[in-house]
Amino acid sequence: MVRLSTGQRVFNVFNYIFLIVLGLSMILPILHVVAQSLSSNTAINSGKVFFWPVDATLTNFKAVIGEKLIWRSFGVSIFITTFGTFINLAMTAMLAYPLSRTEYVYRKPVLILVLLTLIFTAPLIPNYLLVKELGLHDTLWALMLPGAISAFNLFVMRSFFMALPTELIDSSRIDGCGEMRILWSIILPLSKPVMATIGIFYAVSHWNSYANALYYINNRQLYPLQVRLREFIITDSSSISSPAEDVMMSSPEGIKMAVVVIATIPIMLVYPFLQKHFTKGMMVGSVKA
């Protein structure tokens, strides 16, 4: 057993204290939101609710669950998160693979162009005009196609692909495999950690999609969940249909917190299943160059 010096023990104590405080700073706000969503309006307005429900009730959740527009927005968010993430991963992999191969002649010029998009971003108005000219305005494709490839995620995936043994690719070419077959049958099955990592990044981005929906979507039936959440938070009850309207008038804060909880649950349920791949993918992408 290795004996620690006094300085090391002191460092460990302060390190544990720092991590505990940091963890509480992240957990306590979540507990506060959950507690308010399960508390009565009287308890919330009186300031009695902190980290545990007071006068516990499910009225807020029943009202939100019974709201049709919430479920429609929930479905829209699931659609753009699922298909948008698939498009992101497919497009990113198809560009990262040739950029990871030294035999690709135009690899460096393309990398420079991709890097420029990471440094300099296009202004809002040109982006809006481009989306409108492509016929994507007021469609869900406007939330998925313009940001199909993230430069940061592309470089992470490219670094992972470069770390794979080149002998596998060479032997596959000798066996007559084309580049798409190599990518689909060899590269991607070996890249589950980085695909899971980048998939989480893309999925969270789509699930939290807010600004793009405000810019490109006018049809309220196509609003994702985050925009609908905004309506609950900053607008009055006149914009909300029954059965949430009556509850919103009597318990506005409880309804808002219930919507926040419902919007957060899906990502919290998915993350534990991908955590091991997420950690491994981040480590490999950060070490390999």
b/e burial code for range 58-73 (CB count within 10 A of at least 16 → b): ebbbebbeebebbebb
Question: What string of DSSP letters covers 91-131?
Answer: HHHHHHHHHH-TT-TTHHHHHHHHHHHHHSPPPHHHHHHHH
CA 151 to CA 168: how far, in whole Å? 26
Q: What is the pLDDT of residue 36?
A: 84
pLDDT tens-digit map of 209-255: 888 888 888 888 888 888 877 776 665 444 455 455 555 555 677 77
Q: What is the pLDDT of residue 108?
A: 85
Contacts for 236-242 with beta carbons within 8 Å, 24 or more apart?
240/67, 240/69, 241/67, 241/68, 241/69
Q: Is the pLDDT at 127 greater than 90, yes or no?
A: no
CA 251 to CA 194: how far, in whole Å? 44
* Three-class secondary structure assignment of 149-216: CCHHHHHHHHHHHHHCCHHHHHHHHHCCCCHHHHHHHHHCHHHHHHHHHHHHHHHHHHHCCCHHHHHH
pLDDT-derived band at 21, boundaries 50, 70, 90: very high
Of the candidate ranges 35-39, 120-124, 250-254, the one whose mean pLDDT is the lowest: 250-254
Average pLDDT over residues 174-179: 79
CA 59 to CA 151: how far, in whole Å? 45
Of the candidate ranges 42-46, 72-76, 223-227, 282-286, the one whose mean pLDDT is the lowest: 282-286
Average pLDDT over residues 121-128: 83
CA 48 to CA 186: how far, in whole Å? 58
Q: What is the pTM of this model?
A: 0.75
Is residue 197 packed enough to be buried (19+ CB in 10 Å), middle (13-18) or exposed (0-12)?
Answer: buried
Tokens of 122: 């296009």
Of the candidate ranges 27-31, 65-69, 230-234, the one whose mean pLDDT is the lowest: 230-234
Of the candidate ranges 43-47, 104-108, 157-161, 280-284, the one whose mean pLDDT is the lowest: 280-284
Is residue 103 packed enough to be buried (19+ CB in 10 Å), middle (13-18) or exposed (0-12)?
Answer: exposed
pLDDT tens-digit map of 144-175: 888 888 888 888 888 888 888 888 787 888 87
Domain locations along the chain: 1-57, 60-287
Question: What string of DSSP letters covers 22-86?
Answer: HHHHHHHHHHHHHHHHTS-HHHHHTT--SSS-SS---HHHHHHHT-HHHHHHHHHHHHHHHHHHH
Q: What is the pLDDT of residue 280?
A: 57
CB-CB contact of 2 with 12 (8 Å): no
Q: 60-287 has which CATH code?
A: 1.10.3720.10
